[in-house]
Structure 1
Amino acid sequence: MDIDERDRVAELWDHSQEQYRRDDRVLYWELLPAVQRYQNEMMTGDAETGYFDWTLRELEARTGNTGLRGLSIGCNEGDPACEMILFERGLFERIEVVDIAEGLLERQQGIARSRGIEGIDYLCRNLNAIEIEPDVYDFIWAVGTVHHVERLDHLFDQINKGLRSGGLFMMREYIGPRRLQFTDRQLRIVNEILRILPEPYKKTADGRIKHHLERYDIEAIKAHDPSESIRSDEIMHFAAKHLDLIEVAETGGTILHPLLSDIAFNFDRNEAGAGLIEGLILLERILIGEKVLPSDYVFCLAGKTMK
Structure 2
Amino acid sequence: MFSDLPDIYHYWSNKYLAPIFRDAGFSTIAEFFSSNLLVAATRTGCTKAYFVSVGAGNCDLEVSIAKNLLQAGLSEFVLECLEINPVMLERGKQIAKENGVLSKMVFVEADFNTWQASREYHGVMANQSLHHVTQLENLFDQVRNALHRDGSFVISDMIGRNGHQRWPEALEIVQRYWKELPDTKKYNHLLNRFEAEYDNWDCSIEGFEGIRAEDILPLLVQRFQCEKFVGFGNVIDIFVDRCFGHNFSRESEEDKALIDKVHAEDEAGFAAGTLTPTHMMAVFCKTLHCESFYSRGIKPHAVLKFRGLA
Fold match by TM threshold 0.5: yes
Task: Assess if the C-alpha contact under 8 Å between 2:53 and 2:126 holds in 1.
Answer: yes
- CA displacement, residues 143-168 of structure 1 (integer Å, 9 cap, x when unaligned): 21112112212111111222223221
RMSD over equivalenced CA pairs, Å: 3.2
Name the SS of the counterpart of 1:26 in structure 2.
coil
Corresponding residue of 1:144: 128
Name the SS of the counterpart of 2:211 in structure 1.
coil
Q: Distance in 2 between matches of 1:34 and 1:265?
A: 13
Corresponding residue of 2:116: 131
Greater Cα shift, 274-283 or 58-67: 58-67
Q: 1:281 to 1:303 in 2, by over 3 A?
A: same
Matched, 1:32 2:10: yes
Corresponding residue of 2:31: 53
Q: Distance in 2 between matches of 1:275 and 1:106?
A: 44
Letter in 2 for 1:285: E
Greater Cα shift, 260-269 or 160-169: 260-269
Name the SS of the counterpart of 1:156 in structure 2.
helix
Q: 1:113 to 1:213 in 2, by over 3 A?
A: same
Task: Assess if the C-alpha contact under 8 Å between 2:204 and 2:210 holds in 1.
Answer: no
Q: Distance in 1 between matches of 2:161 and 2:2?
A: 30
Q: For residue 115 of structure 1, report the CA deviation from its aligned partner.
A: 2.5
Corresponding residue of 1:185: 169
Matched, 1:83 2:62: yes
Task: Assess if the C-alpha contact under 8 Å between 2:57 and 2:85 holds in 1.
Answer: no
| Alignment TM-score, normalising by the size of structure 1 | 0.76
Aligned identity (percent) is 19
Letter in 1 for 2:133: V
- CA displacement, residues 201-228 of structure 1 (integer Å, 9 cap, x when unaligned): 44444775443222325xx743x21x22
Task: Assess if the C-alpha contact under 8 Å between 1:187 and 1:213 holds in 2.
Answer: no
Name the SS of the counterpart of 2:198 in structure 1.
coil
Match of 2:235 among 247, 255, 258: 255
Letter in 1 for 2:148: R
Task: Assess if the C-alpha contact under 8 Å between 2:236 and 2:266 holds in 1.
Answer: yes
Match of 1:294 among 254, 269, 276: 276
Q: 1:151 to 1:105 in 2, by over 3 A?
A: same
Letter in 1 for 2:65: L
Q: For residue 103 of structure 1, report the CA deviation from its aligned partner.
A: 2.4
Letter in 2 for 1:228: E
Task: Assess if the C-alpha contact under 8 Å between 1:248 and 1:300 holds in 2.
Answer: yes
Mapping 1:125-274, distance limit 5 Å = 125-135=110-120, 137-205=121-189, 209-216=194-201, 221-222=204-205, 224-225=206-207, 227-251=208-232, 253-261=233-241, 262-272=243-253, 273-274=255-256
Letter in 2 for 1:142: A
Q: Identify unmatched segments of 5+ residues in structure 1.
A: 1-21
Greater Cα shift, 137-146 or 256-265: 256-265
Corresponding residue of 2:106: 121
| Alignment TM-score, normalising by the size of structure 2 | 0.75
Letter in 2 for 1:74: G
Greater Cα shift, 39-48 or 124-133: 39-48
Task: Assess if the C-alpha contact under 8 Å between 2:31 and 2:65 holds in 1.
Answer: no
How many residue pairs are counted as aligned between the two chains?
276
Task: Assess if the C-alpha contact under 8 Å between 1:72 and 1:97 holds in 2.
Answer: yes
Task: Assess if the C-alpha contact under 8 Å between 1:96 and 1:123 holds in 2.
Answer: yes
